[in-house]
Amino acid sequence: MAGWGRFAAVLRNVLKSPRSLKSLALRRAVGPGVLGSVIGTGLICYYQYHANSRTLPFAVHAAEQKEAPAPQLSARKIRFIQFASVVYEQEPYMTPRDFLFSVMLENVDRKLQKRVLTTEEVNNMLTAASKARAGNDLFRTLGDNGLLSYTEYLFLLTIMTKPRTGFHIAFKMLDVDGNEHVDKKEFLKDGEAANTTLQAYFFGKKGEKKLQYQEFRRFMEDLQAEVQEMEFLQFSRGMDTMRREDFAEWLLHYTNEEDNEIYWENMRRKIPAGQSITFDEFKAFCLFTNNLEDFAFSMKMVTEANRPVGMAQFKRAVRIATGHDLSENVLDTVFKLFDMDGDNCLSHKEFIGVMKDRVLRGLKVQHQNGISGYWKCVKRETLKGAQEALGDTGCPI
């Protein structure tokens, strides 16, 4: 304000000078213009200075109380709550049957009424889990006689898509002290989580057992095999073989791509009826999908960037990634389904996009470009879900 006062004094002196009096007309013309310019410029600066706050210095406002936004649930958390059918101590849990349904079905057919478990029921579930035998029917045998936490759901989803080369890495992540076995404290990190079916199965009802790597690997292999068998029976309608069109339907089950209609038309027009795929052929393809990252890398080695992929190149890349071959039956079905222009080639980018949806089982996350972006999304989404769960359980996964 002192600067504005000095400027006003100078302006008055200038206007009172003899030379100014001699040019009164000029003073009357220029004076208001100068004053108007000064005032206008001041108003513009004042407005710009306060534009962000949109308040005047003499305005009085009551303190505003803003509510913190509710945390946004991850896709996996939403799926868990949707399929969880039991509640214990006000926390939702999945049964083993719920978990199988959550990876096989896109949505539950009806809104589940969650069953509230008593302490006696939970104790009976833990006893059953501690006596359960290993096998690729473990979850089906337990059925609704068990409970799985959200953190364990994330852990099981990780197992579902992990290549066998990653089993030992997963075990090492649990084996904090590096003594080649995992105890219950390491599995839970801080031991604050409620006892569950998975804990009783690994460590006994009282948590006294140690989990060895061979047992852990057997569990992971059995779970993958059990889900694969369930999905095969689902799409083969309970038969020993799956029709090629049923296999194509399984491939597209979770996809939501722009070219879906073309894929379905290819299936109806190109895939011959009456030809079937065995369970062993189906398992080999599932092994391939669990090695999708290695496959994408090997594709870069055997083909030029963004070029359509021929069957021989595709077959070679699969063998590099998995160490196994896909049957001619499966390869022919894949190429007939995803061949967009009839040149017996498929788009590497589009095929990877469909397989991403297949691996994620509909739990699509934020879009990223390229296969590296895809894996970053998977890791970020899993970490996001784990952070939600860590608030309650502290599981190290």
- Domain range for 190 is 75-225
Q: Are residues 83 and 221 in the same domain?
A: yes
Q: Are residues 254 and 219 in the same domain?
A: no
Q: Which residue, 173, 197, 225, sits at the end of a domain?
A: 225
Residue 191: strand, helix, or coil: coil
Per-residue pLDDT of the chain (397 residues; tens, 9 = 90+): 545 454 445 444 444 444 443 443 434 444 444 444 434 444 334 444 444 444 434 344 444 555 666 668 888 899 999 999 999 999 999 999 999 999 888 776 656 689 999 999 999 999 999 999 999 999 999 999 999 999 999 999 888 878 877 888 888 888 888 888 999 988 886 455 689 999 999 999 999 999 999 999 999 999 999 999 999 999 999 999 999 989 988 888 877 656 677 777 888 888 877 789 999 999 999 988 888 888 888 877 766 656 778 888 888 888 888 888 999 999 988 888 887 777 787 776 667 777 777 776 655 544 434 334 433 444 455 455 545 544 444 443 4
Q: Are residues 259 and 334 in the same domain?
A: yes
Domain assignment present for 149 = yes
Question: What is the torsion angle, in degrees rounded to the nearest 10, for the CA atoms of residue 334, residue 338, residue 342 and residue 345?
Answer: -70
Q: Are residues 311 and 333 in the same domain?
A: yes
Q: Are residues 219 and 263 in the same domain?
A: no
Q: Are residues 247 and 356 in the same domain?
A: yes
Q: Are residues 170 and 251 in the same domain?
A: no
Domain assignment present for 302 = yes
pTM of the model: 0.69
For residue 267, give the nearest of 243, 285, 245 by alpha carbon: 245
Domain assignment present for 278 = yes
For residue 128, give the nearest of 141, 116, 110, 112 by alpha carbon: 141
Query: How many beta carbons lie within 10 A of that of residue 25, not counting itself?
Result: 8
Instruction: Count up the domains in the chain and report the number.
Output: 2
Q: Are residues 216 and 243 in the same domain?
A: no
Domain assignment present for 114 = yes
String of b and e for 181-199 (b: at least 16 CB within 10 Å)? bbbbebbbbeeebebbbbb
